Chains A and B, each alone.
Chain A
Amino acid sequence: MIICLDLSYRKNSLGLDEFVAPIAAIVKRMGKEARIMHHSGAGAEETADAEAIILCGTALKDNVYAGRMGQFAWLCGCRLPVLGICAGMQVLSLIYGGRLENNCEIGSTGVEVVTPDPIFLGKDRFQVYELHTFACTVPADFDTLAISEKCVQAIRHWEKPVYGVMFHPEVRNEWVVERFLGKWED
């Protein structure tokens, strides 16, 4: 079972339909169970039976998560594979000591892979869809995997199976989610 964590400002907002449901659909298409959970009700105990956790994006104007880091601190001690998407990558950056920077981008952009990783194998450059108000710095324990002209696009923790992507893989890059989830199957 994969937990798709809703980072929206409130439970069952329209952000769930736009940013969480498409990720859950990718999980289901892989034959896995997707459990959608709002971040306000999530913690180590509530996610203990999951195979992996995906922190989903939010609406462009919804940056409320950035002021709720106390609700995400449990993720630092989590041993499960974690993929943070857009707002999710920003949350990972913040809880691991990084910071947010104003950098609003909307639409398509080119991404370049700068550090080899199985998730991006064979994909040196590709087009992505972006929708964010903030970019984030790379915390000390993370590698930069991919960049675009304006910001860091993908990071990975040195030791833990924790990844972040700034772009939205549910738009034309579903393979990123599929590879992330496939990585831990064996």
Chain B
Amino acid sequence: MPIVLSDAHIPVVDPSTADGVFSLLWLIVALPLAGALVLLLGGPLTKGAIDKWGHYLGTATALGSFVLSLTMFFALLGREDSDRQVAQHLWTWFEAGGLNVGMDLLYDPLSALFLLLITGVGSLIHIYSIGYMEHDARRRRFFGYLNLFVAAMLMLVLAANFLGVFLGWEGVGLASYLLIGFWQHKPSAAAAAKKAFVINRVGDIGLSLAIALMFATFGSTDFAVISAAAGEASQGTLNAIGLLLLLGACGKSAQVPLQAWLLDAMEGPTPVSALIHAATMVTAGVYLVVRSNFIFELAPTAQTATVIVATVTLLWGAILGCAKDDIKKALAGSTMSQIGYMMLAAGLGVAGYAFAIMHLLTHGFFKANMFLGAGSVMHGMNDDVDMRHYGAVRKAMPVTFLTFAMGYLAIIGFPGFSGFWSKDRIIETALADSWLVGLLALLGAGITGFYMTRLMLMTFFGEARWGAEVHPHESPKVMTFPLIVLAALSVLGGVLLLGDWIVEFLSPVTGVAEHHEPPVPALVVTLMVTAVVAVGVAAAWFLVGKRDIPRVAPTEVSFATRAARADLYGDAINDALVVQPGSALVRGLTTADRVGVDGVVEGGAAATAGLSGVLRRLQTGFVRSYALSVVGGVLLVVLALLAVNLA
């Protein structure tokens, strides 16, 4: 798969000092962090009174950050293109020898868009959670964790050096762990949290090694220093850094081969799935790749690897989505697939970065919308997640149905909806780069059409299949309001691309692609994508919509369905490749320790004890024998002296 190295100019990060409204940059992170501290530590201090208003505090801090982000966004729009990077130095984090790491924040078009997504969608999900978690005894703690997550995620996208990114990276990992396992009384939730944590560690090792390599190569992890000096490093080093960063991105963004945790992560409360495992945290890997464009542009091997990983993942996730009956897991497979699209665009270089971010934003809108919609459905169905027990929900929940439908039309890329614009441009860019990748991405779009239609049909259409004890009802307004806002964004998100606005806006960060004449006209690509999606939708209609859906999943199914239900044997592969050899290694080490090390130590002790047992027989208790040995000894000494003197 040849990737032509772009000759485009890679922009150097060269920010100006924060002033005016930008001097409040730190407050965006500090607000939710303070909220988290108050909510998590305030329980004993206020003797539980905080439980009554804690969720409002958590929502208020997120909203406060959103207002600040919006203000700064407009302030940034008011500036010249060349002056759109602002840095704020807070304090020196640590310094040792030649190593100096500052607590620096960087505000540029890329972080600006991420701030809006995180705080905007984050605030909506906070509002939604007020209703969703109403009956949970630990709602205050839930909001504390959510605030902690938002603070860490904001730190991740605002940091001006890779170590700051790593701080946020670990923070969101922690928050993700805590929230997946929020209902820790369920063994499955506890296990899912642990699985996510362990698999993320693998990726984090990649990121930390990449940071160590940057220290060794450039003596710094500041974006500014590295982007200026990247050209001087050797090709091998840059490729190594790029591949290690990619490993980190794979862990956080659930890309193959570190994808196995995402579907299990759906054990967490649904707002968590919407915020962390759909809209924001799992896209951190895409952010990392786009942010490190100054490295990836000079590391063609890492770029090729990114494209391969992304292509495999977008098909992998789509196939999983086709077979799952759990509505959240089907959506999670879809998330994995859509992040594959973003990664693909990011791996395509300068031509793709802007589209990766574009798809990331629109996906943040429509996927959060659909996850919250799924949560709303579950809320009305006594927390049942099996779509085979749904059907005809649209009559009972009209608002949820309509908003979900907007998200559905957006994700399959119905013309005019947000996903249509972003996904089209990615497939177009991929086709321009490589026929194979482009066609596979096109195939993925068709499968997307299939599984989303299947999900829609099973949930909202057909016969009602729920039991007599279930009484579906529309969710309260506090839950439907975020749905309506997100549905509107899902529909209108495409305006981001009006006149290629987002491409120009991001150009100070990602550079400007040379304009190539596409091998296939854009209109033809659009028609192709629309046609393929239509085929997928039609297939779902004939295979799912026209048939009766049994309440219990049929067991006699094709091999492909069985494989997809088993997550394409992702767990089995991990088990065979990592867990079993790991256990064997540990067993071997234990045996070596028991036989070898313990053998030497305990054998030495036993030999000493045995010898002592023999030697102590000399202690007969007879005084005269002791006297004899004394005399004998004296005689020996005397004889020896004589022998020496006479010799």
Do chains A and B stick together as partners?
Answer: no
